[in-house]
Structure formats: C-alpha cells, structure tokens
A = this chain, B = another copy of it.
Amino acid sequence: MFDPIEKLQEYVRYASVSADSKFKDGMVGAQNFLTGIFTGMGFQVQVVPTALHPVVVAKRTGDPHWPHVIIYGHYDVQPPDPIAQWRTPPFDPVIRRGRIYGRGTADNKGPLMVHITAVARLLEKNPGLPLNLTFIVEGEEEIGSKNFKSFLQANRHLLEGDFIYMSDNGILTPDQMVVTVGLRGMIALEIELTGPKMDLHSGMHGGVLLNPLQALAELCASLHTPDGRVNIPGFYRQVVEPEPWERAQLKKAGLRKEEYARFLGISRFHTPPGYTPFEAIRFLPTLEFNGFTGGYQGEGTKTVIPSKAGAKITCRLVPDQTPENVRDCVLKALRQRCPKGVSLKITEQHKAKPYVVIPPDRSNTPKDQRPALANCFRALEKAGTEVWGQPPLYLREGGSVGLLADLKDVLGLDAVMMGLFLPEDNLHAPNESFHLGVMKKGIETSERVLAALAKG
C-alpha cells in the first residue's frame, strides 16, 4: 500500500531550490525521486532537459478514446532563508500536531503527492482503469517557469490531453474545499541606483552629494499613494471589475477581517478604497518591494555612503492587465522619477500573465467551453461535496502560476485547480507546513474525481 506521508518526507529531503545554483544536488535528487515513483506505478518516464532545470514527464497511455488528464506539479521549492527562523531544519521534515513541516511540503510537494497517491490507489484497485494520464512536473515554477513555455512548444505531441488537473493553489479553512478559478499574473524587476563611483566616508564627503540610499527611498516612496493604491499612471487602466457571482462566492467563504489581522499580526489593513482585504488580494493588482539592499548591514556602525543601492520589486496583475503593459508603465515611472545625481539600472526578471477559467453554468462561462473540462468541474463539485461535507467554493487567488497562461496559449488547455494549502501553511516563509487532514481529504477527492472521469 502506497504511504503518501512517508513518500512526502523522502521527497522533501531533496533541497530542490531552483533559484540558487548551490542546490543543484537537491534538484537532481528530486528528479530521480519522481522518476522512481512513476516508474514504480508503471508509467513511462522521461526527464526532458530545458535550458536550466528539466521537466519530469510520466505517461500512462491506453486507448486513445479514453479521456486524457494532464496532471501538473513542480518539484522546485523556494529558498529556505531566513534559516534562523525555522524551528526545525527546512529539509528534514518532521510531523507535529497533524502537520508536516519542511520547505516545499505545501508548495508543491505535498499537493503533487495527493494526486500521485490518488492515481496509485486507483491503479492498485483497477489496473485497467480507462484513463490516459500524463504527469508533468517542472523545476522552475519558483523562478517563473522561464523555460516551461519552450518545453511545451517542443513537446506538444506528448501533451495532447483534454485539460490540466492540478493543485498549486489554496483553501481558506481545512473544512471548505476551494476550486481556484483565477490567479494573478506577475512582473519582477530589480533596480539599482549608482551615485559616487566608490563607497565614501560619510564624514569626509557627507553633505555634498545625493546618497544612493536616499535616492532609493525617494524613488520607492513615490510608487504608492497614502490610500494604498499604486501611484503610477496607467497601472490600473486594464483592470476588469469582478463579476457579482465572484464577490458572492467570496462572501460565502465567511472570512473575517479580525481573524485575518490577528493571523498576520497587523494592527490595521492598508487596502485601496472600495475593496475588502479578501477582495483586494484577488481582484486588484499590486506593486510590492521584496527586498532593499545597500550600504553596511553588519553588526555595529559603518559610516559609509554607499556607491550603490537596490530594490527588488514584483507586481501582481489581474485580468486584463498584461505583463508588457504594466512593465511599460512601471519602467516609465521609475525612469521619470529617478532623482538626478544617481543613475538607474533596471533588470527585468520573470513575468506571467494573469489567468481565469470560468466554471460551467456561470453567467460569464464561455459558450465554447470543452465538455471534458466541464465534466471535471462537475465531478469535482460532486466528490468535493461528498468528502468535505459541503459544495466547493469557486474563488480566484492572489498568487501567480504563470504557466497556466502558457498551457492555454500553447496547448489550448484550461486548468481545473483543486486547492490544498492553507493560509497558515507559511508558503515562501520559514516553518512551511502541510495539513495532514487536508492531505487525506485531497487524496479521497482526487481518487473520486479521476474514477468518475474514467467512467465517462
């Protein structure tokens, strides 16, 4: 019998951080782990190279008339920094109070293990299951799936399925299933300001030139208005208001601001007017600073005026914004506002389109929606209601999974996204964990959904 927790522990031990070349061994370890698992289940496995990290593709091919489900996951994880804030080591998973702790447990190793387990169990019970299945597990999701689109373009023949099925998305409480129907897009930038050609003594030279740190503060401070909006002309131009049913679904979730504030540890929200915090996350774009750097940051004092100062910036995008359009607005504002006396270098990093898929029978469902996609949504509604005790909610989410737009653009496929991680799972932060009760319900739901699809 396939033990998902034991397998997940083994999987998490591979420190597969895609952003940092130090972790190459972990990346290869995770690839080999997946190859072993899928081979053991009788799948044909290929580790398909890309310009950076390969994609693991595992196929079970039978009658071409069977439905063909493509299950997506990613084996790469976020960097573990700041390491000192982890209660237990990030790559040595431990179970405490019904949760498994470790980097990648929730994003995305645990959720992928849910679907692997569902498939393994179905095939144990019924080796002749009339379902074509393809797993594609990539290694660059946390760095923007840079090579995923060209992988898809080069491997279209492997991926002629009916729709994408996946869980790289969230739920709100352990008792309420959520189907994610939209994700924000993203652009990532790095800016660097250079003032004097070398670091200077702040006594000998302080008071005659613009300090690059001061210029950075002034430039960054100009990018928001006091009411929490982004202060860049054209930034909101393409933003589409959410549909009434979307606001209604979110309201049904019964989220409470006080609880959320307590969870975050903040004394007040800072949300643009007219939106609750829960709406702002899903329906509005952002511009966030992810890091500032410059000058002396060690112990004690160093009386230096640094030559350079920098910031890492990401924007989250919503329909119908495009990465190109938002980038153009942001770059223009940065260039126009950069204080005189320093020079500005902008490095563009990864970008992702926002994504929406509309479940069947909604006012704005496209008329040409594929029947297999609609079947899966309906199977999920039924299985979800049975296993979780109430019908799923259909919600957009604040994160970004840029490859969804790539899957749609290249393969023409939409995605059914079963949420599995919780707000308290600490994704991208220290002490990431995955809820074992949710894991169990996820496995049961996924098993029923796949069984229903096999029946047709």
Contact = CB atoms under 8 A, between A and B. Distances in A.
Interface residues on A, range: 35 or more
B427 A201 contact: yes
B290 A200 contact: no
A261 B99 CA distance: 60
Contacts of A217: 216-221, 289, 292
Given A218-B221, A270-B208, A202 B301 contact: no
A220 B213 CA distance: 9
A428 interface: yes
B208 A280 contact: yes
A418 to B, nearest CB: 17
Interface of A: 19-21, 78-79, 81-82, 85, 143-144, 170, 184, 186, 188, 195-211, 213-214, 216-224, 228, 260, 264-272, 277, 280-281, 284-286, 288-306, 309, 311-312, 314, 316, 340-341, 349-350, 397-400, 423, 426-430
A170 B203 CA distance: 11
Contacts of A270: 208-210, 341
Given A214-B289, A290-B202, A301 B196 contact: no
Residue picked from A82, A196, A221, A302, most chain B C-beta under 10 Å: A302
Contacts of A207: 228, 271-272, 277, 280-281, 284-286, 288, 316, 398
B314 A196 contact: no
Contacts of A311: 213
A347 to B, nearest CB: 10
Contact of A301 (B204, B290, B423): B290
A217 B285 CA distance: 20
B398 A203 contact: yes
B290 A429 contact: no
Nearest to A267: B341
Shortest Cβ-Cβ A-B pairs, 5 listed: A197-B265, A203-B399, A291-B295, A217-B220, A19-B300
A20 B312 CA distance: 28
A206 B299 contact: no
Given A214-B224, A216-B217, A224-B214, A292 B289 contact: no
A266 B200 CA distance: 12
Given A195-B266, A206-B314, 8 more contacts: A82-B199, A200-B429, A202-B428, A207-B272, A208-B277, A209-B266, A209-B270, A291-B306
B198 A298 contact: no
A304 B428 contact: yes
A76 to B, nearest CB: 11
A345 to B, nearest CB: 15
A289 B211 CA distance: 7
Given A198-B430, A203-B398, A270-B341, A78 B302 contact: yes
Nearest to A297: B293
Contacts of A296: 79, 81, 290-291, 312
Given A213-B292, A224-B214, A341-B270, A20 B202 contact: no
A443 B414 CA distance: 81
7 contacts: A19-B299, A196-B265, A207-B398, A209-B270, A267-B341, A290-B304, A291-B294
A323 to B, nearest CB: 14
B266 A290 contact: no
